[in-house]
Amino acid sequence: MTENTNTEQFELTNRGKSNPTIEIFKKTLFGDIGTLPRLIGGILVLLFIPIILAFSIDTNGLTTNSSIMEGTFFLVFYLIYMPTLLIIISLNSAPLISAEVNQGTMLTLVSYPISRRNIFLSKFFASLIFGLIIISSSLSIICISIYLRFPFQDIFLFYIINLLNWTLVLFIFQSVTIGISCLVSKPRNALFIPLMILMVFFLIFPFMKMFLLVSSDGNPPYEQFYLYWVDIHYHFVNLLYSMLKGVLNLSPDLLQHVMTMGIAKYSGSVPVETNYVHPIISFIIVLTMGLCILFSGFLYFKNRDIQN
């Protein structure tokens, strides 16, 4: 290369202070998904029913040693919070890559001196931070409301466990959503596929499980065909159950409601704890699944042709 070109290159690489990756991260977080109306809207939607539930807790007969896990509050909270959170994540994250590629703005962006890896990471982390803000804010408000209603002794631990659990759920589902957003060309498919996953694994399959766990010969199809390995909802509940059981140190009676969410089988009408998969294996399975889809999406995005 000529001396002149070297000088030009030196000037170009040393001319600025801003980091393009941070700039794209900021624009995605504050301009695309994390606008104030979206943030407030997301938090309010997540609060709506849990807050009503929190104020409807019957405090008669509760003592200072009572646990938040008593009663059906947690079961209803989980059933409302989980799908709502996943829908919010899908709505916000699904268009991040696919819409930019589809609309043509990505073509301009890739002509700037920033790698596709950094574009991908800035969008992924921006949506992750947005999700974390929503989760931590909504859980804080819910737990404060419950505490104002009745000072349960384990409310802080309950908050921490839920924060960990929903952060993990967020990370996995975010990985799936962003991965799919890279893999499909139409934004509507990028939204449709995660919502389908949500429908199938968190709604249809848990419903069908009621029938799959019933057997006259004691060998239900769910166990016979090892369906728990592909039951994503089972793995998430298995993890949550083990955390609640280990950290809150509750009696099995108080955890019955958690069991019924996905890891119990029934002996008559009594839920019995199952031990199909160790919680750590469940953790590895969901993490691997999320990271595989995320990495596939990244590889495809890195190498794909982007044009109008």
Partner 1 sequence: MLKVKSMNINPNSLEIWSKELTKIYGKGEQKITAVDEINLFVKKGVHGFLGPNGAGKSSTINMLVGAISITNGQAKIKGNNAGSQDAKKFIGFLPQDPALYGRMTGEQYLQYFGRVSGFGKEKAIEKTKELLKQFNLTEAKNRKIKTYSRGMKQKIALASALIKEPHVLILDEPTSNLDPVGRAEIIKEIRALSKNICVFVSSHVLSEIEQMCDYITIINKGKIVLTNKIENIKETHSKANNVYILNTNSNKEALKLLENQEFIEKVWIDARGLNIHIIPSDTHTLKQKVPKILINNNILLEKFSQEEFTLEDIFLEMMNDNFRGI
List interacting residues with partner 1 (CB under 8 A): 1-2, 5, 8-9, 12-13, 15-18, 20, 23-24, 27, 31, 103-105, 107-115, 303, 305-308
Cβ of residue 94: shortest distance to partner 1, in angstroms? 18
Cβ of residue 133: shortest distance to partner 1, in angstroms? 21
The single-letter DSSP state of residue 32 is I
* Residue 36 to residue 2: CA distance in whole angstroms: 51
Cβ of residue 13: shortest distance to partner 1, in angstroms? 7
Q: Residue 223 to residues 195, 201, 210, 212, 226: CA-CA distances in angstroms?
A: 27, 17, 12, 8, 5
Which is closer to partner 1, CB of 31 or CB of 252?
Answer: 31
Token pair listed for 25? 């991260």
* Residue 237 to residue 235: CA distance in whole angstroms: 6
Cβ of residue 39: shortest distance to partner 1, in angstroms? 16
Crossing angle for the helix pair 232-243 and 279-303, nearest 10 degrees? 130
Q: Which amino acid is at 94?
A: A
> In 10 A of CB 36, how many CB atoms?
8
Could you tell me if 180 and 94 are in contact, meaning their C-beta atoms sit under 8 angstroms apart? yes
Q: Residue 163 to residues 11, 59, 103, 220: CA-CA distances in angstroms?
A: 47, 25, 36, 34
Cβ of residue 129: shortest distance to partner 1, in angstroms? 19
Which is closer to partner 1, CB of 37 or CB of 268?
Answer: 37
Which is closer to partner 1, CB of 18 or CB of 63?
Answer: 18
Which is closer to partner 1, CB of 9 or CB of 288?
Answer: 9
Which is closer to partner 1, CB of 100 or CB of 154?
Answer: 100
Which is closer to partner 1, CB of 110 or CB of 254?
Answer: 110
Cβ of residue 297: shortest distance to partner 1, in angstroms? 18
> In 10 A of CB 218, how many CB atoms?
6
Residue with tokens 């009408």: 269
